[in-house]
Amino acid sequence: MKIYDKKLAYPYFVWMALFTVIPLLIVVYYALTDGEGNFTLDNLLAISGYGSVFARSLLLALIATVICLILAFPVGYFLSRLRVNKQHIMLMLVMLPMWMNFLLRTYAWMGLLSVNGPVNAVLGFFNLGPFNMLNTSGAVVLGMVYNYLPYMILPLYTSMTKIDPSLVEAAQDLGANTTKTLFRVLIPMSVPGICTGITMVFVPAVSTFVISRMLGGGSNLLIGDLIEMQFLGNSYNLNTGSAMSLVLMIIVLVCMSFTSSFDENEMEGVS
């Protein structure tokens, strides 16, 4: 039975067409034309000159995603095994730093990592350093991990709460050791959470420009930096910028279809 009127959604359809679909079509249009509006593939071909930046973005985002997964897995498991009222408090504690503007959090890392900052001061106490940690690709990865870690924890936690504790006990009763329980029970059953977490960390990490600019100095350009420079920076060129954005979109789409296909395969295996 239809109790509402379809017409209620019409304003949204107009909105969606104007501000979701058409803008993306304009990106495609700019990516495939030159300044005069003639069709060209030069913008896309010109990207090959930035191959190293694209490779760096993918690599750093990938490293950050893997580190997030490794760090988040035990936390998600720990949270999911707590009593329910404790779970809420702990989740709140995980989420609380996220409520701070991420520019401010990243800015704090700039101070923490600087040559005469607290981290080096502590290391100096043990007669280590001082290290030049700021403006390195390591600092960029650290910034990504720090900012996006909760995006990994939450989906992992959600799928782990659905794992029956007796399954883990059964595995152990049947002679599986900790490693075996981990790889044969816990990880396979957390696959939906792992897949969601990977996309939720990888997508913002591969497209950021703030983290690389604040923690990477000028020497660790990422795709996001390139795009930003084409639209608002010194190398103003909407066509090249659109072509880069198009490639970034394709990268993200490939990544997501990869994780979601993995997810579905696993689900079929389970049922």
> For residues 266 and 268, what is the distance between their CA atoms, to the nearest angstrom?
5
Q: What are the backbone angles phi and psi of residue 201, rounded to the nearest 5°?
A: -90, -45
Rounded to a whole number of angstroms, the minimum distance from the CB of residue 247 to other proteins is 11
Q: Can residue 170 be called a binding residue for other proteins (CB under 8 A)?
A: no
Q: What are the backbone angles phi and psi of residue 179, rounded to the nearest 5°?
A: -60, -45
Chain mean position to CA 73: 16
User: In this chain, which stretch among 34-42, 159-167, 182-190, 225-233 interacts with other proteins, using CB under 8 A?
Assistant: 225-233
Q: According to CB under 8 A, which residues from 205 to 224 bind other proteins? A: 206-210, 214, 224
Q: Give, in order, the Cα–Cα distances in Å from 204 to each of 2, 8, 61, 164, 190.
A: 39, 33, 9, 32, 22
Q: Can residue 108 be called a binding residue for other proteins (CB under 8 A)?
A: yes
Q: Can residue 254 be called a binding residue for other proteins (CB under 8 A)?
A: no
Q: According to CB under 8 A, which residues from 111 to 150 bind other proteins? A: 111-112, 114, 116-118, 120-121, 146, 149
Q: What are the backbone angles phi and psi of residue 33, rounded to the nearest 5°?
A: -130, 165
Which of 55, 74, 162, 169 is in the footprint of other proteins by CB under 8 A? 74
Rounded to a whole number of angstroms, the minimum distance from the CB of residue 2 to other proteins is 4
> For residues 39 and 31, what is the distance between their CA atoms, to the nearest angstrom?
9
Q: According to CB under 8 A, which residues from 181 to 200 bind other proteins? A: 199
Q: According to CB under 8 A, which residues from 78 to 107 bind other proteins? A: 78, 89, 92-94, 96-97, 99-105, 107
Cβ pair 187, 255 in contact under 8 A: no
Rounded to a whole number of angstroms, the minimum distance from the CB of residue 270 to other proteins is 24
3-state secondary structure of 33: strand
Closest CA to 151 of 194, 191, 201: 201
Q: Can residue 267 be called a binding residue for other proteins (CB under 8 A)?
A: no
Rounded to a whole number of angstroms, the minimum distance from the CB of residue 3 to other proteins is 6
Q: According to CB under 8 A, which residues from 9 to 48 bind other proteins? A: 9-13, 15-16, 18-24, 26-27, 30
